Amino acid sequence: MTDSNETAQVESADELYDITIIGGGPVGLFGAFYAGLRQLKTKIIDSLPELGGQLNALYPEKYIFDMPGFPKILARDLANQMIEQGTRFSPAICLDEKVLQLVTEEDGTFTLTTNIATHRTKTVVIATGAGAFSPTKLANESLDTFEGNGVYYFVKDKAKFQDKHLLIIGGGDSALDWAMNLEEVAGSVTLIHRRDVFRAHEESVDWLLNRSQVNVRLWNELKEVRGEGRLEVATILHSKTKEEETLPVDAVLLNLGFKADIGPLREWGLELHGSKKVVVNHLMETSIEGVYAAGDIAHYDGKLDLIATGVGEICLAVNRVKIRIDPKAKLFPGHSSNLSL
């Protein structure tokens, strides 16, 4: 979990990139590193406001035991290391952007259309994993009114919560982590959870219930938020007693998990395996020339959905991109240990 993406760069929409990687999960990040190493003008686009893919979105607090060189590493720590490595050569990073459309132009380049911009690129590597992640939202119209202005699904800047009366909604690792992170910054933190059992690390639950100043309300749900021009109060409802309580609240942070949507990719004209995977050959080429796929989204006979295999696949894909763009270049990138970076 990062509270801001310091490496993000603003891209010029018309610039033609050598390679655009759709997906900033572990596989896309490793691809960005290799693309930089091969001096390709690189862009990463992800639908989430932070990099890291499933590692940060789905299981930041779980240990991973099958990473070469790491006998045991927290998913979040691996994500942070991969972000550092993936941004080493300063790729353009476009976050909070979901790629909706891929069009092959007459000159063989591609235009990618997202929910907010268009991007031009000579080649595309699809590293979209399980699909575009977006935060799970509550069906509550009062929240929509204040979204981005009092109601948040991510923390990009902790300073935004300085001295605020903060209401956190959720009972998983992410909710507890942010309660822990923001307790010292916010004026007060209340956490509501609709059950009495948390889906979080034992140590975090112990801190929350026994050692923190967080006002914890179990069996509570949000009824509504209100305010004149800015968020001022939240009404919560005890699901068993049906008692309502109105709290002074300046900010609400919802941590209710993520849902993945592979949707738009099905319309791009790619050969698919079933409804959720893109078919690639042994060079990671898809059925569209100049478009490659790697990681969980890619399918071939014998495929395994693991980080170790995905990073190998994108290494192959990016080096193919290099010789596609510069036919005089060598396919083999050389050994990184020979470089002085």
Q: How far is the CB of 328 from ligand FAD (least distance, A)?
A: 31
CB neighbourhood size of 193 (10 A): 23
How far apart are CB 135 and ligand FAD at their closest, in Å? 11
Shortest approach of ligand FAD to residue 65 CB, angstroms?
A: 6
**Smallest distance from the beta carbon of 152 to ligand FAD, in angstroms?**
18
Nearest-CA neighbor of 295 among 287, 307, 281?
307
- Which residues within the stretch 95-124 sit at the binding site for ligand FAD (CB under 6 A)? 98-99
Which letter does DSSP use for residue 10 in this model? P
Quote the tokens at residue 303: 């495929």
Say how far apart CA 90 and CA 213 lie, in whole Å: 40
Q: Which of residues 44-83 bind ligand FAD (CB under 6 A)?
A: 45-48, 53-55, 58-59, 62, 64, 66
- Note every long-range contact of 239-246, with CB atoms under 8 Å and residues 24 or more positions apart, other chains counting: 239/194, 245/217
Q: Residues 219, 245, 305, 329: which binds ligand FAD (CB under 6 A)?
A: 305
The candidate with the shortest Cα–Cα distance to 219, out of 179, 191, 246, is: 191
What is the C-alpha to C-alpha distance for residues 258 and 11, in angstroms, rounded to an integer?
27
Angle, vertex CA 257, rays to CA 201 and CA 273, nearest 5:
115
Alpha-carbon span 8 to 282, nearest angstrom: 32
Contact between 232 and 165 (Cβ < 8 Å): no
Q: Which is nearer to ligand FAD, 49 or 227 (CB)?
A: 49
How many residues touch ligand FAD under the rule CB under 6 A: the total is 36
Q: Is 264 in the site for ligand FAD (CB under 6 A)?
A: yes
Alpha helices in the chain (DSSP H): 26-37, 54-57, 75-86, 141-146, 173-182, 202-206, 307-325
Nearer to ligand FAD by C-beta: 170 or 310?
A: 310
Among 128, 174, 204, 286, binds ligand FAD (CB under 6 A): 128
The residue (of 104 and 235) whose beta carbon lies closer to ligand FAD is 104
Report if residue 254 touches ligand FAD, rule: CB under 6 A. no
Shortest distance, position 80 Cβ to ligand FAD, whole Å: 14
Contacts of residue 45, defined as CB under 8 A and 6 or more positions apart, other chains included, come to 20, 21, 22, 23, 24, 94, 97, 99, 112, 114, 119
Q: Is 127 in the site for ligand FAD (CB under 6 A)?
A: yes
| 23 belongs to the binding site for ligand FAD (CB under 6 A) | yes
Q: What residues between 275 and 304 interact with ligand FAD by CB under 6 A?
A: 295-296
x/- mask, ligand FAD, residues 318-337, rule CB under 6 A, reads: --------------------
Task: Name the nearest CA neighbour of 137 among 256, 263, 262, 1.
Answer: 256
Residue nearest to ligand FAD (CB): 129
User: Residue 173, interface with ligand FAD (CB under 6 A)?
Assistant: no
Query: What's the angle, vertex CA 3, arms to CA 196 and CA 253, rounded to 5?
Result: 40
129 near ligand FAD, rule: CB under 6 A: yes
306 binds ligand FAD, rule: CB under 6 A: yes
* Sign for the pseudo-dihedral over CA of 310, 312, 314, 317: negative
* CB of 55 or CB of 175, closer to ligand FAD: 55
As measured in angstroms, the least distance from the Cβ of 330 to ligand FAD is 26
> Which among 82-90, 126-134, 136-144, 152-160 is the span making contact with ligand FAD, rule CB under 6 A?
126-134
Binding residues vs ligand FAD (CB under 6 A):
22-28, 45-48, 53-55, 58-59, 62, 64, 66, 98-99, 127-133, 264, 295-296, 305-308, 310
